[in-house]
A and B are shown apart, each in its own frame.
Chain A
Amino acid sequence: GNSVTQMEGPVTLSEEAFLTINCTYTATGYPSLFWYVQYPGEGLQLLLKATKADDKGSNKGFEATYRKETTSFHLEKGSVQVSDSAVYFCALSDLRGSNDYKLSFGAGTTVTVRA
């Protein structure tokens, strides 16, 4: 079945530091990939997505590139702010392969940015 493995946290860094959260996936088909973010006390929000190989999703300074050859979708931000402190979830859905249409999530990575 489909699965997502993401970097374990927690991750603590200083403002303006570079952030990378690794995400790799296993899928029988050709999945769409997502990053969701959960800010403290809030619900999950879609941060960015990519639907085919080499696509780059971007939003709020975050980027992730769909790498089919390495089955990865790493999240990056060049200069984090305190307001980026949140839990980040990598996810996939597989529309064109296994008929496994549910969103499969990674375990989540807690990121804390210190001023």
Chain B
Amino acid sequence: GAGVSQSPSNKVTEKGKDVELRCDPISGHTALYWYRQSLGQGLEFLIYFQGNSAPDKSGLPSDRFSAERTGGSVSTLTIQRTQQEDSAVYLCASSLEAGFEAFFGQGTRLTVV
């Protein structure tokens, strides 16, 4: 596609439920990143993929968070047993290769009630 696409754009979920956030990177981009942006805060790194492997998972806040990437393309970020502190905008970005300039999607705004 022309840009990074994320879905859904907004998600409201009840505390304790699981959610899946999807990211479609720019075609041909081998690197994919997930970040989180809480209200009024900066960007918190979660995880990045080079191809289908995740060399750096250091930012995942807890074992409730997981991510996968298949076929070197689409990625899914899963949050299990959501908590209110998980409420944030989840941003996905892709780049031609890891470390190159990254292009961001519009984000998924997650609200846990």
Which residues of A are interface residues toward B (Cβ below 8 A)?
Answer: 32, 34, 36, 42-46, 49, 89, 93-95, 99-108
Contacts and interface: CB of A to CB of B under 8 A. Distances in A.
A49 B48 CA distance: 21
A108 B89 CA distance: 15
A34 B102 CA distance: 10
Contacts of A103: 33, 45, 93, 102
Contacts of A32: 99-101
What are the 4 A-B residue pairs with the smallest beta carbon separation, nearest first?
A101-B98, A95-B99, A107-B42, A44-B104
B101 A34 contact: yes
14 contacts: A36-B104, A44-B43, A45-B104, A49-B101, A93-B98, A101-B48, A101-B55, A102-B33, A102-B48, A103-B102, A104-B45, A105-B42, A106-B42, A107-B41
Nearest to B105: A43
B21 interface: no
